[in-house]
């Protein structure tokens, strides 16, 4: 029997920047997905708490279009990983999760994908595994995601956020001081990225880059040259968000919670007004959190359109919400627990 654990993640800052080679600063959670399994000669059979069982006879389907027909839909990630790894695995397994269920913006799908990758024998440097996991997720959903979530899941280090340069595909580890507590709060609004305007935002960034070149190197003067007001707003978010990532790295290094919180709140305004990926409910919750004594700042986290919020606060602060929430320290990356 092999058992692996893969964490979910919360992104501190650097939202909707990964797919234009920008900067991101997520951290792995201590919550995630545990996947245990043993070899089975005939089937991929996996049971999962609170979900229908996956039961597929070998050989597994080999075309991306066939993956889309697999039910229950969570099984598509497993089959897509097997296909990308080039293995046709028989597994009798069990999955359990400590992440809140479905559509949370905390990368439960990525945790599932990365857990499958380790269980099915994927080996290599974490960022190489992350690239493979990303391709498998794209195969499973058709959403043209970036590399942030898979890197956070596989390359994180305990007590540190992960600073990734998505152009160079390099990472470094940034200590999160204990004076700053991270709160993760679910909005109560579930969503699937596949049903969202995620691909539309990515297309807008591609249109911007056709006009002014790579967003990673664009200046505000370049952004101001864009005639189309919508493209100008999307570009302004990305350019200012990359700056906010570096400002956050500095604030964490200086153990400066007020500045770190102000960066989150500014990041939310940019996502809500310029990138337009927030919702009225999330905006109201961010405002209520930011107005709470002890909270330094708050914003939506992840792809948006619902999902979760992240706040930085004085240790022990209670969020004024009646939805699921947790205090979070940065966790370690995905690992084999029992070989
Ligand atoms: C989702 C994607 C990531 C990233 C975020 C937005 O989580 O999987 O690649 O683009 O949205 O920052």
Give 276-319 as a DSSP string: ----HHHHHHHHHHHTSTTEEEEEEESS-SSSEEEEEESTTPPP
For residues 94 and 47, is the Cβ–Cβ distance under 8 A?
Answer: yes
Cβ(137) to ligand 1 under 6 A? Answer: no
Q: Measured between alpha carbons, how far is 277 from 299 in angstroms, rounded to an integer? A: 12
Residue 301 Cα to ligand 1 middle (Å): 9
What do you get for the CA distance between the two ends of the chain, in Å? 7
Q: Which atom, in ligand 1's list, is nearest to the CA of 18? A: 10
Per-residue DSSP letter, 124: S
Taking CB atoms within 8 Å and a gap of at least 24, the contacts of 170-176 are 171/127, 174/25, 174/249, 174/252, 174/253, 175/252, 175/253, 176/27, 176/252, 176/329, 176/330
Main-chain dihedrals φ then ψ at residue 35, nearest 5 degrees: -130, 120
Residue 188 Cα to ligand 1 middle (Å): 19
For residues 33 and 2, is the Cβ–Cβ distance under 8 A?
Answer: no
Of 15, 139, 302, the residue with max ligand 1 atoms within 8 A of its CB, to mutate for a pocket test, comes to 302
Of 110, 143, 146, the residue with max ligand 1 atoms within 8 A of its CB, to mutate for a pocket test, comes to 146
Strands 91-97 and 43-48: parallel
Nearest CA to ligand 1 atom 5: 303
Active site residues: 149
Residue 90 Cα to ligand 1 middle (Å): 31
What angle (nearest 5°) sits at the alpha carbon of residue 289, between those of residues 285 and 295?
160
Domains of the chain: 2-174 (3.30.230.10), 181-328 (3.30.70.890)
Nearest CA to ligand 1 atom 1: 303
Residue 307 Cα to ligand 1 middle (Å): 12
- Where the chain has pLDDT below 70, the residues are none
Cβ(274) to ligand 1 under 6 A? Answer: no
Cβ(303) to ligand 1 under 6 A? Answer: yes
Tell which phi-psi region holds residue 106, choosing left (phi > 0), alpha (psi between -120 and 50) or beta: alpha
Residue 146 Cα to ligand 1 middle (Å): 6
Nearest CA to ligand 1 atom 8: 145
Of 145, 199, 268, the residue with max ligand 1 atoms within 8 A of its CB, to mutate for a pocket test, comes to 145
For residues 326 and 301, is the Cβ–Cβ distance under 8 A?
Answer: no
Nearest to residue 305, comparing CAs of 187, 219, 165, 143?
A: 187
Per-residue DSSP letter, 189: -
For residues 148 and 23, is the Cβ–Cβ distance under 8 A?
Answer: no
Q: Measured between alpha carbons, how far is 75 from 316 in angstroms, rounded to an integer? A: 39
Q: Is the peptide bond before 59 cis (omega within 30 degrees of 0)?
A: yes
Residue 169 Cα to ligand 1 middle (Å): 15
Q: What is the pLDDT of residues 46-59, one digit of tens each?
A: 999 889 999 998 88
Q: What is the pLDDT of residues 301-319, one digit of tens each?
A: 999 999 999 999 999 999 9
């Amino acid at each position: 029997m092999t058992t692996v654990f893969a964490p979910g993640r919360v992104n501190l800052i650097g939202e909707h920047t990964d797919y234009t080679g920008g900067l991101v600063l997520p951290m792995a959670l201590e919550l995630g997905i545990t996947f245990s399994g043993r070899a089975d000669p005939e089937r991929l059979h996996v049971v999962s708490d609170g979900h229908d069982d996956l039961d597929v006879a070998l050989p597994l389907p080999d075309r991306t279009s066939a993956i889309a027909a697999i039910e229950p839909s969570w099984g598509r990630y497993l089959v897509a990983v097997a296909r990308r790894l080039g293995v046709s695995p028989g597994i009798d397994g069990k999955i359990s999760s400590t992440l809140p269920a479905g559509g949370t913006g905390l990368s439960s799908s990525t945790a599932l994908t990365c857990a499958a990758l380790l269980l099915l024998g994927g080996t290599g440097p974490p960022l190489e595994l992350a690239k493979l996991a990303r391709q498998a997720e794209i195969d499973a959903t058709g959403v043209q995601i970036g590399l942030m979530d898979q890197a956070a899941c596989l390359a994180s280090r305990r007590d540190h956020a992960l600073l990734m340069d998505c152009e160079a595909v390099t990472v470094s580890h940034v200590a999160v001081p204990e004076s700053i507590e991270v709160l993760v709060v679910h909005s109560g609004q579930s969503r699937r990225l596949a049903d969202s305007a995620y691909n539309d935002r990515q297309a807008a960034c591609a249109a911007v880059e056709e006009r002014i070149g790579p967003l990673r190197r664009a200046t505000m003067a370049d952004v101001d040259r864009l005639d189309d007001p919508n493209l100008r707003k999307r570009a302004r978010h990305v350019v200012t968000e990359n700056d906010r990532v570096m400002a956050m790295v500095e604030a964490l290094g200086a153990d400066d919670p007020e500045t770190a919180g102000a960066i989150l709140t500014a990041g939310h305004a940019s996502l809500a007004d310029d990138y337009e990926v927030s919702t009225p409910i999330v905006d109201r919750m961010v405002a209520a959190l930011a107005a709470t004594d002890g909270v330094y700042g708050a914003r939506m986290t992840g792809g948006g359109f619902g999902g979760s919020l992240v706040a930085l606060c004085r240790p022990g602060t209670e969020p004024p919400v009646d939805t699921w929430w947790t205090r979070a320290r940065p966790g370690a990356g995905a690992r084999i627990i029992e070989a």
